[in-house]
Structure 1
């Protein structure tokens, strides 16, 4: 690649275009949302109600999908017993870190994972270093929007102060090296930027993989790929507004207010303020000797309209996000197992789509990891596949029964079905295979022992019985 400063300048223009949307999504996800409208002269009590009315449903949308995404293995079609790529995964604690990648991609529309050559802290041998990177600090760039690999990645490292000068620190990843560039604050001329470090990474491409929540339909219609949060933000505002209106009605007119006419309210002689004539209580009755006094009460405000409007907005959010309504605990109860499965059909299809998209990206990570340690066989295997946790709403007995029928009725080998049992990892399957080999060898030894014992017993019986007819025939 040419001058890294020129490449950085081009990538920063893309970053400036997408960062406002990403920051707004991050704020909404964390509950920093547009507040419902109140008049400027409203009392402080209304401000407290606004704060209470912010019901953040957006993290639930992301969690419902993310909790159904868990990588449990990586399998080569020609060498299923090869666990070396999966050891790269385990050495980098990716069982826990994968959730960070999935949630970021679902929330912001994209996430990043870097793969660099390194050394295992346990064995001291060469090992890949796999790390997730947040889209809030990292921006990927490629000339071809449909390219499989990124051309350039820029990561913000914050600021540094030297004397009276302040610099913005940028880390630039390209197909040759990882460089650090200092940009004087307020200066957009790349000629004034400083490349303070550049270290070749030894990879044959930019060692960063992008995880997309979905591919953009057209580069001209979307500045970046959509996540799950952005389309739901207007509905979140609607829920907050309805909840605020309901709190106001609940606080000021949801209880019965009583009135009285024809009475003279006394005043406190010391303060001059009106004195409350009647004390309302369960065990008290309002009474007066005057026949001109009239009592009455105002009707309370019915909150059912607010509740219905709020529930309708929540159901609209669930429908758009393809999340079953019972995840929101909103108006769904006492449903059968078949109905529950039908409600989760949309979510299952969405999860399967994300598994396909994310699975390809994880495949790139595994191949980069193999390349980082010189494992050419796994680095070039594009047919290997990621094994996902089965998140379907089925009991273990139902799953095992279905797998048993697949073996008996369809002839699928038993060992090929082990990895389809929910919760079973690649290492579990390999341990079972080792135990199966041991059991088969032990059974074979027992069988040989029985055969040899039976043969020996037969020969002893023939000798005790004396010569047989065949002996005479042979002698003759």
Structure 2
């Protein structure tokens, strides 16, 4: 059991990290709300908001979701090749698949795109020494502290979450792990109020059955990795959503004004001038006129009846409002969103008239480059994640090789099967090996292994066909005789 001084230092570190985490929660929640389409009406005048604000409070023309989803759908991890190895590491991908990270990694990438960062946590499984537990964590629940002057060397990490009427926290240090808890005041409150309450409560060690607190960290490093989105040298990373919010608000306002104009002035309007409001007599039980009351104009409008009295009465008309003016401005705004976020216009506008394959490829160049940038930055974190898996398995040499390894991503470009086949055929003709071509086709390393086994079985079943294929191919670099062996003897 740690001493009082160690406990005091751990609590102080938790409180410091939590304060920084709380400051991040509000902008993160805003970005998440816009992604979900929960977008309040802004830029409207006080009069418009007074009369029509409640009418459109649940409406949004949500372009934020398209912008955030477009790169994530092209981010797929196929594997990792450790430094000094010719093939991808099958064990790393086994752990990846066992933890369901083929799906959860998409949640991690999406969380980073929306919230500017997300996190991955690696820890050993007491029930399975060979398969560590790997999870992706939200930016509102995790924070990492780095060594001064470093953007990669992790000093500590905190994971905090609410469980019923308590807050739980785990402090990860290179040599030990602390677990804390503290109660909430009174009943469970909203997330914002709960965040305020936590600043006033005291953390205390959380005792878990059969586990020491703190417990040693056998990995020797902080087991939490941060996935940055659009990082800067001296500032916090940037969310892909924040740059879209202002234009999204403008689009929603124009739609609200268009709907209002459509409700009031979408059709030619007629008005009666120079006439008094029609009155009808009020009769008593004997049928005598005892007064009068105005005619119900709403009933006349529903029955399509005009009731006009007076010598100078006449009917005037004004034309319908031009709603196309609104839609043209909205198209311009959506075009700005596409240009600023490098999202293809046909993703947003949905118009693909007579686009050739080359034109479509050119239209998606910006998105492809955007995806490749994310592969670069996320790839650093995923390499470290695989290294942590190796450390959790007790293999330090492998962890070192994985840190300097090469990430294998699925192709970020969207191409037709005909284009892919033509490209692979040309590469084959200039001598590229079959295994490389299979990876360019988008197959995972495991699928390539299965495919090579299938080819081997086919060759065994049809040796003559395999020999004919070799003769058609002609000798390649691998088939040439060694320099010290005569060609006749090699033949």
Query: With structure 1 as the length reference, what TM-score do the two structures score?
Result: 0.81
Choose the corresponding residue for 2:368, options 341, 348, 372: 348
Relative distance call for 1:36 and 1:440 in structure 2 (3 A) is: same
Specify every segment of 5 or more residues in structure 1 that has no aligned partner in the other structure, as ranges: 162-166, 449-476
- CA pair 144-420 structure 1, distance change in 2 beyond 3 A: farther
Q: CA deviation at 1:7?
A: 1.9
Instruction: Provide the residue aligned with 1:195 in structure 2.
Output: 205
- Contact (CA 8 Å) 1:116, 1:130: kept in 2 or not? yes
Name the CA shift for 1:440/1:261 in 2 (closer, same or farther; >3 Å). Answer: closer
Distance (Å, rounded) in 1 between the aligned partners of 2:218 and 2:12: 22
The structural deviation recorded for 1:187 is 8.0
Residue aligning to 2:391 = 371
Go from structure 1 to structure 2 and tell me whether the alpha carbon gap of 1:90 and 1:53 turns closer, same or farther (over 3 Å shift): closer
Tell me how far apart the structure 2 counterparts of residues 288 and 4 of structure 1 sit (CA, whole Å).
85
Specify whether residues 179 and 258 from structure 1 end up closer, same or farther in structure 2 by C-alpha distance, changes over 3 A only.
same
Say yes or no: does 1:323 pair with 2:343.
yes
Displacement of 1:233: 1.2
**Superposed displacement of residue 262, structure 1:** 4.5
Distance 1:39 1:358, change over 3 A: closer
Q: Are 1:150 and 1:210, in contact at CA under 8 Å, matched by a contact in 2? A: no
Task: Judge which range, 286-295 or 141-150, deviates more.
Answer: 286-295
**Distance (Å, rounded) in 2 between the aligned partners of 1:378 and 1:277:** 81
Looking at structure 1, the residues matched to 267 and 101 of structure 2 have their Cα atoms a distance apart, in angstroms, of 55
- C-alpha distance in structure 1 between counterparts of 2:204 and 2:313, whole Å: 88
Equivalent of 2:230, from 209, 214, 217? Answer: 214
- Give the aligned partner of residue 387 of structure 1: 408
How far, CA to CA, are the matches of 1:85 and 1:103 in structure 2?
A: 22
SS of the residue corresponding to residue 33 of structure 1 reads coil
Query: Are the counterparts in 2 of residues 5 and 193 from structure 1 also a CA contact under 8 Å?
Result: yes
Distance in 1 between the 2:327 and 2:461 partners? 68
Tell me the distance in 2 between the aligned counterparts of 1:322 and 1:144.
34
**In 1, Cα distance between equivalents of 2:427 and 2:293:** 89
Q: Comparing 79-88 with 100-109, which one deviates more in the overlay? A: 79-88
Distance 1:297 1:229 in 2: 46
Residue pair 2:338, 2:345 contacting (<8 A) in 1 also: yes
Match of 1:75 in 2: 81
Q: Following the alignment from structure 2 to structure 1, what is the Cα–Cα distance between the partners of residues 90 and 258?
A: 58
Q: Check conservation: 1:175, 1:203, Cα contact below 8 A.
A: yes
1:92 to 96, 99, 102: 99
Aligned residue among 414, 417, 423 for 1:402: 423
Aligned residue number for residue 420 of structure 1: 440
TM-superposed deviation, 1:105: 0.6
Q: Is the 8 A contact 1:370 1:379 kept in 2?
A: yes
Instruction: Please say if residues 147 and 153 of structure 2, whose CA atoms lie closer than 8 Å, have aligned partners that are also in contact.
Output: no
Change (3 A) 1:254 1:267: same
How far apart are the structure 2 equivalents of 1:428 and 1:144? 44
> Which residue of 249, 274, 286 corresponds with 1:237?
249
> Alignment partner for residue 47 of structure 1, among 46, 50, 53?
53
Given that 1:157 and 1:171 are in contact with CA atoms closer than 8 Å, whether structure 2 keeps it comes out as no
Per-residue Cα deviation, 1:107-127 (whole angstroms, up to 9, x for no partner): 01100011111156xxx5521
Structure 1 segment 301-312 matched on structure 2, within 5 A:
301-312=321-332
What is the match of residue 314 of structure 2?
294
In 1, Cα distance between the equivalents of 2:18 and 2:241?
A: 24
Q: Which residue of 1 aligns with 2:221?
A: 205
**2:57 counterpart SS class:** helix
Q: How many residues are matched?
A: 432
- Residue 137 (structure 2) pairs with residue 133 (structure 1): yes
Task: State the match for 1:23 in structure 2.
Answer: 29
**C-alpha root-mean-square deviation of aligned residues, in Å?**
3.3
* Equivalent residue, structure 2, for 1:429: 448
Deviations 1:17-54 (A, max 9, x none): 32222222222222333323666677986134322542
Alpha-carbon distance change, 267 to 88 in structure 1, aligned in 2, over 3 angstroms: same
TM-superposed deviation, 1:290: 8.4
Partner Cα separation in structure 1 for residue 181 and residue 447 of structure 2: 49
Moved more, 312-321 or 261-270: 261-270
Q: Secondary structure at the match of 2:336?
A: helix
Which piece of structure 1 moves more, 25-34 or 56-65? 25-34
Give deviations 1:201-237, integer Å, cap 9, x for gaps: 311100011101122231xxx3x31110112111111
- Answer yes or no: is the 8 Å Cα contact 1:85–1:378 preserved in 2: no
Q: How far apart, CA to CA, are the structure 1 residues paired with 2:298 and 2:133?
A: 78
- 2:264 and 2:456 map into 1 onto residues whose CA distance is 75
Report SS of the residue matched to 2:415: coil
Say if 1:113 and 1:131, in contact at 8 Å, map to a contact too. Answer: yes
Of residues 121, 138, 147, the one that matches 1:143 is 147
- Give matches, 1:447-458, under 5 Å: none
> Which of structures 1 and 2 has the bigger CA Rg?
1
Aligned 8 A contact 1:53 1:247 in 2: no
Q: Name 2:123's counterpart in structure 1.
A: 116
